[in-house]
């Protein structure tokens, strides 16, 4: 087969009518709320019925995660889709759970977040634009709260909000560096109280995290109400519910909380819903979608953001904890190319066979395997095949996994679709039949400070954590009211350490916690290790400059 | 019938399946792109076919406008819906064309923009929230252009954009006074060039006006490209196409430009599409929707924002001119209550009969009638009945209209639905069968300054226009390149004059033009007379505080 581009493959895909896709999971047509012909939301009534139905038991939850990502690419979403398609191909009733794509970044670098090659979710174009409007709704709910804060201060400030201590910023789904740091409220008394603030990208909103961790609309409303937005002049926290904002925010999210159903190009049902940042938030798709999928399918394949040190750890310690999920197996995606980079090879030299480098870089994979097995979970490595990989390299990778007691399976779903991931599907199904002894890394009652240290030493292989006194004080202050919450680590995705240049499996490094933030609505404490950008910028030549419509009305330049 | 609230009536309405509504206009099911079960967009292919089909002729276009609005309310949208339903009831193939509602203001004052009583469009709740996402798409396109401007300056500013002369602001669909006037780009070189700017509400975006005046997607892309966003250091205009932004903006608007189809509670098809501000923009629904409706229906009822001095004038001089529309008749909505206010009665005293005040206030109606007939259009007055109106008052209103040679018909569509507006429908159908001799107020080639003077003296009854020297200079500068454009007046809606306190029919007043703005993409020059707020604020007690979901998941407090 000639190599078509992702968009060519997506456009040639013959989509089946969505009711037919839904029927594979026993979702009746009446439970579908159509958005166009190829996207639908699942109706709330049907979701409630699922949760309450004693005749239903949950399917097996399979988490797809990866080694620390490199510029070589590892193909985690592609593997999630390919594995889902392959499980369906071998006769398993399967659903895939993915995150939605953020619109803004697509106008910066050519992007797309719907898999690739023959392992894609469609309609790809819609998914990379407005999709079903969820992110716009989240932005509106977030910004309504922001407007209500400044409005409260403007009209007399009965709550005594300290304008210097408003932590709630605004959001846009756009890469716009000029909005990172602004002074608002200028122009005289009619425009409110001048103060310094800024915008984040919508996926960084705590509203996004709340929506993705809520069990239902009532739980969402409660979480939104608990969001801490500011402090008063006498340093008491101001909550969204103090401003009576949570009801209107929930109304704005009434549709956004319903999972979106689409299909892969091989017609496997895919729930694409939610998209919290994987640094300052937990980086998984919505709990509502995952839980619905588990009620409907026998096998549910989902992914977590970034590498396993960040994404899987948060999936297991935050989402699984809050949502009462028990994964049955974990798939760790690795590539020959990425492990060679972890072994010291430059990106430009990846075309050359280098087994020694691969063996060195495999230390990164090995630590992730040990970490994941430490959660009591069975693990398999998916070797996402690239054309330039040599047989010797692939064999070395498989050997390295075997040395950790884990099977590694070469997969060609990118080129071949489901057929290329059949062996992986059989292995995963086999693991799911075996025992899983899942437990999160730390108990709720462990103090916040210790939770951070536990993650840093046990998952990152760090010698210790370094905290500024202000950070220690802040954690101590929160311990009583919020000490039971899990911790959400914000760290570079590129390394086990906080230094993106330290590839492989560094040890004895120090993890600096520069800042901690309370996400009381979402239900976690964020520990920020290093620079975290919550509002991206556009590059010198943004992709937007070459995006447009051709003579037939087709989109060009977006992918 | 007991008086139900609007929302109770809307919730009790039995909606028909949308394909059945579409079939009334001959729209095949395949041309519907569903958004939920009760909203749809019309597919682009079908729209193109309509425009090109030589077998189709256009239906009659009926413009609903009103006297100068007062706090008493005149019910223009309600009358538009009631008349549409009544035309359908007397056997005419009818479509209604309305604007979409802005989301932001609904969280300030209790609102809703879908008619009222038994003359409503449904689904009311969706229409007052995200609807089909058009406004979010417009906001994204607008803000992408803004991000590209600051990004261009950040990366070397090859075009030589003067950061002090960037006129393109950002938008949000939110009432947020704190964003009116901001300094962005703070925080160091990585965040770009600091400069003063601000946010408007999305309906004030020129992108909104472009979308509503474009004939199709290609025309939209051309209009977006012509938007002037800044000046260079040597005072040359910088266009959106200089930044190569128009293609990506158009891609973001690919779905938003397609008209939305919904239904009235009496099952008349309604195209609800677009919603430009009625002050700094032209305040009518989209040309795409109006033109499609005219190809599909024999009678198309549409409305324009504010009173006839602003809304109808702009509909006739901007939208009809750009879109090649020829209205067949105009309905001028008046109420006993509002005319009594124009005659000097306080709002608190409206419950008391006051025929003398009504006769004084009828001068407002009389001038609107003369203005509309001056466009060569047949006019009928719809007297939107309120319970407290006395028979003597209604008779006096009808007499006052008759004195201007125009019929006035009492309508009870709010209480009775279509049945209450049957007489109006017969009268309108009769007018449509008679001659219409429509011509816009001024020719394209009239100089900009004279266009403003013509509107002020002929429509507003002003003695003259007062322009600051800077305004005169600016108009003279634009005359060569943009002198052919129509003028869009931004003036208080409450009065023929620029002073909102001068009710009735003031004359010999002076219209001050404080500022002029070029909307080269939309295709008009805005003349600002008085204070125009393009970003509303929230009130002391925003409606948002009482909006929420009840135990059954129904929205409370929004209406």
* Residue A557 contacts B where some CB pair is shorter than 8 Å: yes
- Give the pLDDT of residue B166: 98
Q: Is the dihedral of CA B294, B297, B298, B303 positive or negative?
A: negative
The confidence band for A1, taking pLDDT boundaries of 50, 70 and 90, is: very low
Closest chain B residue to the Cα of A185, Cα to Cα: B178
Reference B298, options B59, B80, B57; nearest CA is B59
Residue with tokens 């230094």: A499
Q: What is the mean pLDDT of residues A84-88?
A: 98
Beta carbon pairs, A and B, within 8 Å: 232
- How would you classify the pairing of strands B228-232 and B237-239? antiparallel
- Look at residue A224 and give its three-state secondary structure: helix
* Residue B219 contacts A where some CB pair is shorter than 8 Å: no
| Structural contact between residues B22 and B29, judged by C-beta atoms closer than 8 angstroms | yes
| Structural contact between residues B371 and B304, judged by C-beta atoms closer than 8 angstroms | no
User: In the annotation, is B306 catalytic?
Assistant: yes
To the nearest whole percent, how much of chain B has pLDDT over 70?
99
| Structural contact between residues B62 and B428, judged by C-beta atoms closer than 8 angstroms | yes
Per residue in A251-282, pLDDT (tens digit) is 999 999 999 999 999 999 999 999 999 999 99
The confidence band for A51, taking pLDDT boundaries of 50, 70 and 90, is: confident
Phi/psi of residue B287, nearest 5 degrees: -60, -35
Looking at beta carbons, which residues of chain B come within 8 Å of A105? none
- Give the pLDDT of residue A6: 84
Closest chain A residue to the Cα of B538, Cα to Cα: A151
A166-180 exposure pattern, b = at least 16 Cβ within 10 A, e = fewer = bbbbbbbbbbbbbbb
Q: Which 89-148 residues of chain A touch chain B by CB within 8 A?
A: 103, 107, 129-130, 133, 136-137, 139-140, 143-144, 146-148
| Residue A378 among known ligand-binding residues | no
Contacts of B372 (CB under 8 A, 6+ apart): B65, B308, B312, B330, B332, B379
> Which one of B315, B375, B386, B496 is the catalytic residue?
B386
User: In the annotation, is A340 catalytic?
Assistant: no
| Structural contact between residues A79 and A411, judged by C-beta atoms closer than 8 angstroms | yes
CA B451 to the chain's CA centroid: 21
User: In the annotation, is B367 catalytic?
Assistant: no
* Residue B545 contacts A where some CB pair is shorter than 8 Å: yes
Looking at beta carbons, which residues of chain B come within 8 Å of A156? 540
| Structural contact between residues A365 and A332, judged by C-beta atoms closer than 8 angstroms | yes
Length of chain A: 559
| Structural contact between residues B512 and B529, judged by C-beta atoms closer than 8 angstroms | yes
* Residue B44 contacts A where some CB pair is shorter than 8 Å: yes
| Extents of the domains making up chain B | 6-133+256-431, 134-251, 448-529
The confidence band for A110, taking pLDDT boundaries of 50, 70 and 90, is: low
Q: Is the dihedral of CA B100, B103, B104, B106 positive or negative?
A: positive
Residue with tokens 């100089």: B447
Reference B147, options B114, B115, B170; nearest CA is B170
Per residue in A434-479, pLDDT (tens digit) is 888 999 999 999 999 999 999 999 999 999 999 999 999 999 999 9
Residue from the list A150, A217, A557 with its beta carbon closest to the beta carbon of B553: A217
Q: Is the dihedral of CA A329, A333, A336, A341 positive or negative?
A: negative
Say yes or no for a CB contact (<8 Å) between B549 and A196: no
DSSP assignment letter at B540: S
- Give the pLDDT of residue B112: 62
> Which one of B131, B135, B315, B414 is the catalytic residue?
B414
Reference A431, options A111, A64, A173; nearest CA is A64
A506, pLDDT greater than 60: yes
Per residue in A334-366, pLDDT (tens digit) is 999 999 999 999 999 999 999 999 999 999 999
From residue B31, give the alpha-carbon distance in Å to each of B22, B54, B258: 9, 19, 11
Q: How far is A160 from chain B (nearest CA, A)?
A: 15
Distance CA(A61)–CA(A84), nearest Å, equals 11
- Look at residue B134 and give its three-state secondary structure: helix
Distance CA(B549)–CA(B547), nearest Å, equals 7
Q: How far is B6 from chain A (nearest CA, A)?
A: 18
Distance CA(A260)–CA(B472), nearest Å, equals 55
DSSP assignment letter at A35: B
Per residue in A176-232, pLDDT (tens digit) is 999 999 999 999 999 999 999 999 999 999 999 999 999 999 999 999 999 999 999
> Which one of A110, A347, A402, A464 is the catalytic residue?
A110
| Structural contact between residues A433 and A329, judged by C-beta atoms closer than 8 angstroms | no
Q: What is the mean pLDDT of residues B122-126?
A: 91
Distance CA(B437)–CA(B434), nearest Å, equals 10
Residue from the list B172, B192, B540 with its beta carbon closest to the beta carbon of A143: B172
User: In the annotation, is A559 catalytic?
Assistant: no
- Please compute, for residue A82, the number of CA atoms within 13 A of its CA located in the half-sphere on the CB side: 31
| Residue A553 among known ligand-binding residues | no
Say yes or no for a CB contact (<8 Å) between A187 and B181: yes
- Give the pLDDT of residue B410: 97
Distance CA(B358)–CA(B504), nearest Å, equals 10
Say yes or no for a CB contact (<8 Å) between B548 and A182: no
| Structural contact between residues B98 and B64, judged by C-beta atoms closer than 8 angstroms | no
> Which one of A13, A22, A41, A78 is the catalytic residue?
A78
Say yes or no for a CB contact (<8 Å) between A178 and B187: no
User: In the annotation, is A517 catalytic?
Assistant: no
B42, pLDDT greater than 80: yes
User: In the annotation, is A291 catalytic?
Assistant: no
Contacts of A14 (CB under 8 A, 6+ apart): none
- Give the pLDDT of residue A436: 81
- How would you classify the pairing of strands A94-98 and A299-303? parallel
Closest chain A residue to the Cα of B185, Cα to Cα: A178
Say yes or no for a CB contact (<8 Å) between A545 and B248: yes
| Structural contact between residues A283 and A314, judged by C-beta atoms closer than 8 angstroms | yes
Phi/psi of residue A96, nearest 5 degrees: -110, 140
Contacts of A145 (CB under 8 A, 6+ apart): A168, A207, A224, A227, A229, A240, A243, A245, A249
Residue with tokens 């608002």: A184
Q: What is the mean pLDDT of residues A135-159?
A: 98
Per residue in B417-476, pLDDT (tens digit) is 999 999 999 999 999 998 889 999 999 999 999 999 999 999 999 999 999 999 999 999
- How would you classify the pairing of strands B464-467 and B515-519? unpaired
Selected for mutation to probe chain B from A45, A49, A147 (highest B CB count within 10 Å) is: A147
| Residue B75 among known ligand-binding residues | yes
A498, pLDDT greater than 90: yes
| Structural contact between residues B394 and B336, judged by C-beta atoms closer than 8 angstroms | yes
More confident residue, B138 or B550: B138
Q: How far is A172 from chain B (nearest CA, A)?
A: 8
| Residue A72 among known ligand-binding residues | yes
- Give the pLDDT of residue A557: 83
The confidence band for A52, taking pLDDT boundaries of 50, 70 and 90, is: confident
Looking at beta carbons, which residues of chain A come within 8 Å of B152? none
| Residue A91 among known ligand-binding residues | no
Looking at beta carbons, which residues of chain B come within 8 Å of A147? 107, 174-176, 178, 538
- Look at residue B229 and give its three-state secondary structure: strand
Phi/psi of residue A156, nearest 5 degrees: 110, -15
Say yes or no for a CB contact (<8 Å) between B538 and A196: no
* Residue B174 contacts A where some CB pair is shorter than 8 Å: yes
Looking at beta carbons, which residues of chain B come within 8 Å of A101? none
Distance CA(B63)–CA(B65), nearest Å, equals 6
The ipTM (two decimal places) reads: 0.97
Q: What is the mean pLDDT of residues B540-548?
A: 94
Residues forming beta bridges with residue A24, ordered by sequence position: none
Closest chain A residue to the Cα of B543, Cα to Cα: A248
Per residue in B367-405, pLDDT (tens digit) is 999 999 999 999 999 999 999 999 999 999 999 999 999
pTM of the model: 0.97
Q: What is the mean pLDDT of residues A110-139?
A: 90
* Residue A185 contacts B where some CB pair is shorter than 8 Å: yes
Q: What is the DSSP string of A267-291?
A: --EEEE-----SSSS--B--HHHHH
Say yes or no for a CB contact (<8 Å) between B151 and A191: no
Residue from the list A190, A248, A549 with its beta carbon closest to the beta carbon of B251: A549
From residue B41, give the alpha-carbon distance in Å to each of A11, A131, B33, B133: 21, 15, 5, 11
Give yes or no for a cis peptide into B123 (omega within 30° of 0): yes
Distance CA(A550)–CA(B11), nearest Å, equals 43
Q: What is the mean pLDDT of residues B153-164?
A: 98
Contacts of B133 (CB under 8 A, 6+ apart): A130, A133, A136, B255, B256
- Give the pLDDT of residue A340: 97
Average pLDDT, chain A: 95
Q: What is the mean pLDDT of residues B237-247?
A: 98
- Please compute, for residue B295, the number of CA atoms within 13 A of its CA located in the half-sphere on the CB side: 18
Per-residue HEC secondary structure of A286-344 comes to CHHHHHHHHHHCCEEEEEECCCHHHHHHHHHHHHHHHHCCCEEEEEEEECHHHHHHHCC
To the nearest whole percent, how much of chain A has pLDDT over 90?
89
- How would you classify the pairing of strands B40-42 and B260-264? antiparallel
Q: Which 416-475 residues of chain A touch chain B by CB within 8 A?
A: none
Say yes or no for a CB contact (<8 Å) between A250 and B33: no
- Give the pLDDT of residue B1: 45
A113, pLDDT greater than 80: no
Reference A270, options A81, A89, A451; nearest CA is A81
Distance CA(A427)–CA(A413), nearest Å, equals 15
> Nearest 10 degrees: CA dihedral of A245, A246, A247, A252?
90
Say yes or no for a CB contact (<8 Å) between A548 and B252: no
* Residue B236 contacts A where some CB pair is shorter than 8 Å: no
- Give the pLDDT of residue B53: 86
* Residue A546 contacts B where some CB pair is shorter than 8 Å: yes
B39, pLDDT greater than 80: yes
* Residue A43 contacts B where some CB pair is shorter than 8 Å: no
- Give the pLDDT of residue B388: 92
Distance CA(A421)–CA(A89), nearest Å, equals 10
Give yes or no for a cis peptide into A123 (omega within 30° of 0): yes
Distance CA(A104)–CA(B12), nearest Å, equals 40
Distance CA(B458)–CA(B469), nearest Å, equals 23
- Give the pLDDT of residue B559: 67
* Residue B542 contacts A where some CB pair is shorter than 8 Å: yes
| Structural contact between residues B520 and B228, judged by C-beta atoms closer than 8 angstroms | yes
Per residue in A374-395, pLDDT (tens digit) is 999 999 999 999 999 999 999 9
Identify the CATH class of B134-251.
Answer: alpha beta
User: In the annotation, is B76 catalytic?
Assistant: yes
Statement: A448-529 belongs to CATH 3.10.410.10: yes
Write down the CATH number for the domain with range B6-133+256-431: 3.40.50.300
| Residue B70 among known ligand-binding residues | yes
Residue with tokens 């009492």: B410
User: In the annotation, is A314 catalytic?
Assistant: no
To the nearest whole percent, how much of chain B has pLDDT over 90?
89
């Amino acid at each position: 087969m000639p190599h078509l581009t992702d968009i060519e493959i997506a456009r040639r895909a013959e989509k089946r009518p969505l009711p037919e896709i839904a029927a594979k999971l026993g979702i009746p047509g009446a439970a579908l709320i159509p958005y166009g012909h190829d996207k639908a939301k699942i109706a709330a009534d049907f979701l409630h019925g699922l949760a309450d139905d004693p005749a239903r038991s949950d399917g097996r939850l399979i988490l797809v995660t990866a080694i620390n990502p490199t510029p070589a690419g590892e193909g985690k979403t592609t593997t999630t889709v390919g594995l889902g398609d392959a499980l369906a191909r071998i006769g398993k009733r399967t659903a895939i759970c993915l995150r939605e794509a953020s619109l803004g970044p697509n106008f910066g670098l050519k992007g797309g977040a719907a898999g690739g090659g023959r392992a894609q979710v469609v309609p790809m174009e819609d998914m990379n634009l407005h999709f079903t409007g969820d992110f716009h709704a989240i932005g509106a709910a977030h910004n309504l709260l922001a407007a209500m804060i400044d409005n409260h201060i403007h009209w007399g400030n009965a709550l005594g909000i300290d304008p210097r201590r408003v932590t709630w910023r605004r959001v846009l789904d756009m890469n716009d560096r000029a909005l990172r740091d602004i002074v608002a409220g200028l122009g005289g008394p009619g425009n409110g109280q001048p103060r310094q603030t800024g915008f984040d990208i919508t996926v960084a909103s705590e509203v996004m995290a709340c929506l993705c961790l809520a069990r239902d609309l009532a739980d969402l409303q409660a979480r939104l109400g608990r969001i801490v937005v500011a402090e008063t002049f006498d340093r008491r926290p101001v909550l969204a519910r103090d401003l009576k904002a949570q009801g209107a925010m929930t109304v704005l999210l009434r549709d956004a909380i319903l999972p979106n159903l689409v299909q892969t190009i091989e017609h496997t049902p895919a729930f694409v819903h939610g998209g919290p940042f994987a640094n300052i938030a937990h980086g998984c798709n919505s709990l509502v979608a995952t839980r619905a999928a588990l009620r409907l399918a026998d096998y549910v394949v989902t992914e977590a953001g970034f590498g396993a040190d960040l994404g899987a750890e948060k999936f297991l310690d935050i989402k699984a904890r809050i949502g009462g999920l028990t994964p049955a197996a974990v798939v760790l995606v690795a590539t020959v190319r990425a492990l060679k980079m972890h072994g010291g090879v430059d990106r430009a030299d990846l075309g050359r066979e280098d087994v020694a480098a691969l063996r060195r870089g495999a230390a990164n994979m090995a630590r992730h395997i040990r970490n994941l097995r430490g959660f009591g979970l069975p693990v398999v490595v998916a070797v996402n095949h690239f054309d330039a990989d040599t047989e010797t390299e692939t064999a070395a990778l498989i050997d390295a996994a075997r040395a950790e007691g884990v099977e590694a399976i070469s997969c060609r779903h990118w080129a071949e679709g489901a057929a290329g991931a059949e062996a992986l599907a059989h292995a995963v199904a086999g693991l799911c039949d075996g025992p899983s002894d899942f437990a999160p890394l730390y108990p709720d009652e462990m103090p916040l400070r210790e939770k951070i240290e536990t993650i840093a030493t046990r998952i990152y292989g760090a010698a210790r954590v370094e905290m500024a006194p202000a950070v220690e004080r802040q954690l101590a202050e929160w311990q009583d009211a919020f000490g039971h919450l899990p911790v959400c680590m914000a760290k570079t995705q590129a390394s086990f350490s906080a230094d993106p240049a330290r590839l492989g499996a560094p040890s004895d490094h120090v993890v600096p916690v520069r800042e901690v933030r309370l996400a009381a609505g979402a239900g976690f404490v964020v520990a920020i290790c290093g620079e975290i950008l919550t509002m991206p910028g556009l590059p010198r030549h943004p992709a937007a400059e070459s995006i447009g419509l051709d003579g037939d009305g087709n989109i060009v330049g977006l992918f």
